[in-house]
Structure 1
């Protein structure tokens, strides 16, 4: 069965829907004992395999649903409407009360390793394949990028994780250990450095528009370096992320028809109206319980709901507010209701759970703010011209209709650091960046402790650095049964 895999990455105003048989390939039953070792022969075979890697990021176990519980709901950006039995496990994530069997922990962990397994299947075979060198480089670069991207999530969420870079047998997998964080980051860097060399800057074949590029790899590598506090390395690679621009209209970034544009380096696209579905559940997950929109009555769960905290964080006149969230809606044609909800992914579904809005994972605005941060951490400068920390920060602010910052506002390194951190929260709201920023920000734990008090009037739990990591799913601990090489996080 042919499926439309609607994942699109990269910019230059390119729009694509990548058609493939990826799910058909990944889930097909054995035919004459066929395996990945015998399947991959032609360029078309590898194309199917690569599309299957992208497809793993659409899953509800990853960026189709579960990821935003660990990356946004965990933070001070969003919360859960229903704190009762129907959403207890989600509320656990929100309030730092999750157990080792929480299904969101298991979903993201397992879903991520499915993506890694698919990437390894391609990487195991592609070097020896009798296919054109240009295709070989592209497929290898894509697989390396996507494996690195998923490992970057895993190491920030769980800390030490098994570093699996080849296809494993069941017995081999059972003997995996939790590799040191430094080892995982070293592999992420290596994968992205290779991907940046192998991948093209742009694609000339329209059928390839939307796949990751060298700019995608360099952009993600720069983000990895910032996370590791390798400031000079970050600045060096980020300045080479070229060919992208900020869209004049922030709201236009999130319309389904404009999912791939000059600002996007990497986004997961969904498309409604296909059978089987290639849509998402964002609309029904996030809108209020009774929601009247464009003349149609819908019902939602109002999860991943903007907190009072983030609503208050927007500056007066910030154009991003109306594009990102709202605090009122209609329950029917005439009745207004109060209550926060996310607007970025507001694409009415063709059927229940079949929305077409995309989910951006890396944008040029992110790159600009990372550049500002990397330069400031090396040395504070009051200069405001092109190529300066202030210059990068102000590009983002001015697109939002806000006043440019100067040394009069931010007179030292510490105040500039805080300003970039605050800007990232608003610019990238609900795009799965906030929890990761809190992890690496020195004031992150104090911010979350204050959030629990201010938002929910909770003084417990008392947050310590150990709470910056999630538990390894209990199922993994039980399978390995090796407290020395595969221990649980404290």
Structure 2
């Protein structure tokens, strides 16, 4: 981990504090505080956890960048990037440079949020006994989720070569508080990063309770992300079982209509984990780039006829678009202050359907029943039978523009346009500033 990461990570985020002496007006300005003071009480640790959530919600992470990066990288001429940001244009054209400031910002923000989680986990002895399990579980969930998307975007996909030798991302599981030579971390292997991800999410599952607010980690959220991780690894039995736990918990239900799943007033039953956005806090860069100016967006990501042609007659998902200036835009993110969904129940049903189909099982439900449940909600006609291709086609339609495009292409070993799934151009380069200041880091092939 290089000095650029370290500068973001000092004591979870260095703060300027005013220390009272004999009176409120007799103060000493300081630039940083000692660990023993910064994380001395249970409340201090809880505040740091809030900071970890705040880092997670950055527009450079799950406030938009993680999702649009996956979709622009995986696009096959179904959208067009028509904006002026060269950083996003590089993602869409698969012409990324090592000096791309957007991917650099995402990398730095990811390690910033990880360090906040690490600070929480290193200070659990200060936490009140009644809160300790929950706080540890939430911090582990945040760390595991971020590492999963870091390794998916900045490294070769699971199964693309040898996971035990392919380079993943630096693994940092202890707080960075004082910068030293030991902080020049090399990249762990893809296998090692996935091991850490599974450890964090499994412990989070065991430590947390069922959902109370989808904006915070829960047992259900950990199970849902575990299902996503196992699916990426091709561990279909584990993916099926994790997905089935979420569904069988009876904590969730599909919204009555597809559109309601993207309306904060109606989607509480379906959203398992989300980023909370208000007019005072949080960012929704999916609105910024996917919505037209009539809905406060930039209108940079425009839906093309190739994508619109995928929907069958009667499927309301095929009309869930808006038109502005002769361009089509998804209607999923029209609310400037709408919460950003990270994972929804519909995806969990489709994970269970795919895993059951691949294994020839029907744990929880038959694959056909799960697929038709999703289709029925969208107004599409029921299928008489469902093979793997039908399930994957349903997944593509249901989860369009939610960040899974390139990851699905890689795990399914499908081309992205003229590029093979293993092409180096589908892996984001390590930021050049990181390479320049940390000689232990090795750049991705092709850059």
Which among 446, 461, 480 is matched to residue 438 of structure 2?
480
Go from structure 1 to structure 2 and tell me whether the alpha carbon gap of 1:100 and 1:422 turns closer, same or farther (over 3 Å shift): same
Which among 401, 404, 407 is matched to residue 382 of structure 2?
404
Cα separation, 2, equivalents of 1:314 and 1:387: 25
**Quick check: 1:72–1:78 contact (8 Å CA) kept in 2?**
no
User: Is 1:64 aligned to 2:63, yes or no?
Assistant: yes
Go from structure 1 to structure 2 and tell me whether the alpha carbon gap of 1:173 and 1:69 turns closer, same or farther (over 3 Å shift): farther
Q: TM-score, normalised by structure 1?
A: 0.77
Matched position secondary structure for 1:448: coil
User: What's the counterpart of residue 49 of structure 1?
Assistant: 48
Alignment deviations for residues 439-460 of structure 1 (CA, whole Å, 9 cap, x no partner): 21122x1x422xxxxxxxxxxx
Cα separation, 2, equivalents of 1:200 and 1:462: 42
User: Is 1:117 aligned to 2:115, yes or no?
Assistant: yes
Cα separation, 2, equivalents of 1:56 and 1:397: 35
Which among 327, 331, 347 is matched to residue 343 of structure 1?
331
Cα separation, 2, equivalents of 1:105 and 1:476: 12
Cα separation, 1, equivalents of 2:13 and 2:37: 14
Cα separation, 2, equivalents of 1:187 and 1:430: 28
**Quick check: 2:154–2:429 contact (8 Å CA) kept in 1?**
yes
Cα separation, 1, equivalents of 2:228 and 2:285: 28
**Quick check: 1:200–1:214 contact (8 Å CA) kept in 2?**
yes
Question: Which has the larger displacement, 186-195 or 49-58?
Answer: 49-58
Go from structure 1 to structure 2 and tell me whether the alpha carbon gap of 1:378 and 1:248 turns closer, same or farther (over 3 Å shift): same
Which among 225, 232, 235 is matched to residue 227 of structure 1?
232
Give 1:144 deviation, angstroms.
Answer: 0.3
Structure 1 gap ranges (5+): 1-24, 330-336, 348-354, 411-415, 450-460
Give 1:102 deviation, angstroms.
Answer: 1.1
Give 1:389 deviation, angstroms.
Answer: 1.6
User: What's the counterpart of residue 129 of structure 1?
Assistant: 126
User: Is 1:309 aligned to 2:306, yes or no?
Assistant: yes
Alignment of 1:263-302 (within 5 A): 263-272=270-279, 274=280, 277-288=281-292, 291=294, 300-302=297-299
Alignment of 1:388-467 (within 5 A): 388-407=366-385, 410=386, 416-443=387-414, 445=415, 447-449=416-418, 464-467=422-425
Alignment deviations for residues 92-134 of structure 1 (CA, whole Å, 9 cap, x no partner): 21111111111222122111111111110101111x1251x23
Go from structure 1 to structure 2 and tell me whether the alpha carbon gap of 1:209 and 1:302 turns closer, same or farther (over 3 Å shift): closer
Cα separation, 2, equivalents of 1:36 and 1:248: 50
**Quick check: 1:68–1:304 contact (8 Å CA) kept in 2?**
no
Matched position secondary structure for 1:266: strand
User: What's the counterpart of residue 364 of structure 1?
Assistant: 345
**Quick check: 1:231–1:377 contact (8 Å CA) kept in 2?**
yes
Matched position secondary structure for 1:340: strand
User: What's the counterpart of residue 6 of structure 1?
Assistant: none
Alignment deviations for residues 195-250 of structure 1 (CA, whole Å, 9 cap, x no partner): 011001244xxxx6742211111111111111111111222222211222111122
Cα separation, 2, equivalents of 1:210 and 1:437: 25
Q: RMSD in angstroms over aligned alpha carbons?
A: 2.4
Structure 2 gap ranges (5+): 1-11, 19-29, 156-167
User: Is 1:373 aligned to 2:337, yes or no?
Assistant: no
Go from structure 1 to structure 2 and tell me whether the alpha carbon gap of 1:418 and 1:467 turns closer, same or farther (over 3 Å shift): farther
Go from structure 1 to structure 2 and tell me whether the alpha carbon gap of 1:285 and 1:180 turns closer, same or farther (over 3 Å shift): same
Alignment deviations for residues 167-222 of structure 1 (CA, whole Å, 9 cap, x no partner): 1342256420110000000110011110011001244xxxx674221111111111
Alignment of 1:123-272 (within 5 A): 123-126=121-124, 128-131=125-128, 133-159=129-155, 160-168=168-176, 169-172=178-181, 174-203=183-212, 210-241=215-246, 242=249, 243-258=251-266, 261-272=268-279
Cα separation, 2, equivalents of 1:176 and 1:308: 46
User: Is 1:81 aligned to 2:82, yes or no?
Assistant: yes
Cα separation, 1, equivalents of 2:359 and 2:241: 12
Greater relative contact order (CA < 8 Å, ≥ 6 in sequence): 2
Give 1:304 deviation, angstroms.
Answer: 2.5
Question: After TM superposition, which residue ranges in structure 1, 4 or more long, deviate above 4 angstroms?
Answer: 30-33, 461-464
Cα separation, 2, equivalents of 1:429 and 1:209: 21
Matched position secondary structure for 1:101: coil
Matched position secondary structure for 1:301: coil
Cα separation, 2, equivalents of 1:34 and 1:266: 33
**Quick check: 1:70–1:104 contact (8 Å CA) kept in 2?**
no
